[in-house]
């Protein structure tokens, strides 16, 4: 069973996906962390993230290792833990450009599929999981929230100016949803969950309910086949 969790940045995807995986006893894969780690590699290589050709040239050499235990975050480059660094403003500002490079996406999607194949059940979160990476996932969820709510949450967590943060979020939403390769969009068969007015525990309870309902329907269908 693959639970594909998509949605824009700032919706709480990573937190609730990780907790959902723990509740389900499943593996967990944060694909956004993979693109952020690739961005660290690009920056450390002295390459302009906007230089798509130069980014593509080093894509095959990214020494990335990412864990799938929902209880332990593990993101490494060349054996070094970059879990904190991938969340910095520098990386956040550059990750959309790096993620838009087709060769980067090809390499990381291959890794994502291999990681998921090692688990009987896994929650995979990102922006193109239900549309590109696992289009046949048994359960697809699109987590969303208004840009204003997402900006307030980010300021509450990391500080900064609200207006600047809101502008950054809106700019990233536009870039992610209009890129030609694997744009952010809701899969036709995904269930949308708006977290704007929900607390974290409420979101997780709703997601668990969706998964249990879908799993029950799947088992019933198999019984009658």
Mean pLDDT value across the chain: 92
Q: What is the pLDDT of residue 136?
A: 95
Reported as a pLDDT band with limits 50, 70 and 90, residue 218 is low
Q: What is the pLDDT of residue 220?
A: 43
Q: How many separate domains does the chain show?
A: 1
Q: What is the pLDDT of residue 217?
A: 59
Q: How far apart are CA 179 and CA 131, in angstroms?
A: 14
Instruction: From residue 158, give the alpha-carbon distance in Å to each of 10, 99, 151.
Output: 12, 23, 10
What tens digit of pLDDT does each residue of 168-199 get?
A: 999 989 988 988 888 889 999 999 999 999 99
Domain of 176, in residue numbers: 2-224
What the block records as the tokens of 197 is: 């007015």
**Tally of CB atoms within 10 A around 148:** 13
Q: What is the pLDDT of residue 209?
A: 95
Q: Which domain CATH number covers 138?
A: 3.40.50.300
Q: What is the pLDDT of residue 151?
A: 93
Averaged pLDDT, 21-30: 96
Q: What is the pLDDT of residue 225?
A: 53
Rg (CA), the chain: 17
Q: What is the pLDDT of residue 58?
A: 96
What tens digit of pLDDT does each residue of 85-133 get?
A: 999 989 989 999 999 999 999 999 999 999 999 999 999 999 999 999 9
Strand partners, 122: 2, 27
What tens digit of pLDDT does each residue of 52-75 get?
A: 999 999 999 999 999 999 999 999
Torsional sign, CA 11, 181, 186, 211: negative
- CA torsion, ordered 79, 83, 88, 92, to nearest 10 deg: 90
Q: What is the pLDDT of residue 160?
A: 87
What tens digit of pLDDT does each residue of 123-161 get?
A: 999 999 999 999 999 999 999 999 999 999 888 888 889
């Amino acid at each position: 069973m693959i639970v594909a969790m998509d949605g824009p940045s700032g919706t709480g995807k990573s937190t609730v996906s990780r907790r959902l995986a723990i509740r389900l006893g499943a593996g967990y894969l944060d694909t956004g962390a993979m693109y952020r780690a690739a961005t660290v590699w690009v920056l450390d290589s002295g390459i302009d993230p906007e230089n798509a050709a130069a980014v593509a040239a080093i894509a095959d050499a990214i020494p990335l290792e990412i864990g799938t235990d929902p209880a332990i975050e593990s993101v490494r480059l060349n054996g070094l833990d970059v879990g904190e660094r991938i969340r910095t403003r520098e990386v956040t500002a550059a990750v959309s450009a790096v993620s838009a490079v087709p060769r980067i996406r090809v390499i990381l999607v291959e890794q994502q599929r291999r990681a998921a194949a090692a688990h009987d059940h896994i929650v995979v979160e990102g922006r193109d999981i239900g549309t590109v990476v696992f289009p046949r996932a048994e359960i697809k969820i699109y987590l969303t929230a208004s840009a204003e709510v997402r900006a307030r949450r980010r300021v509450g967590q990391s500080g900064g100016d609200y207006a600047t943060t809101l502008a950054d979020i809106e700019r990233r939403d536009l870039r992610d949803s209009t890129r030609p390769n694997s744009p952010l969009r809701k899969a036709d068969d995904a269930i949308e969950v708006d977290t704007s007015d929900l607390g974290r525990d409420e979101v997780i309870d709703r997601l668990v309910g969706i998964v249990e309902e879908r799993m029950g329907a799947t088992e019933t269908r198999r019984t009658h086949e």
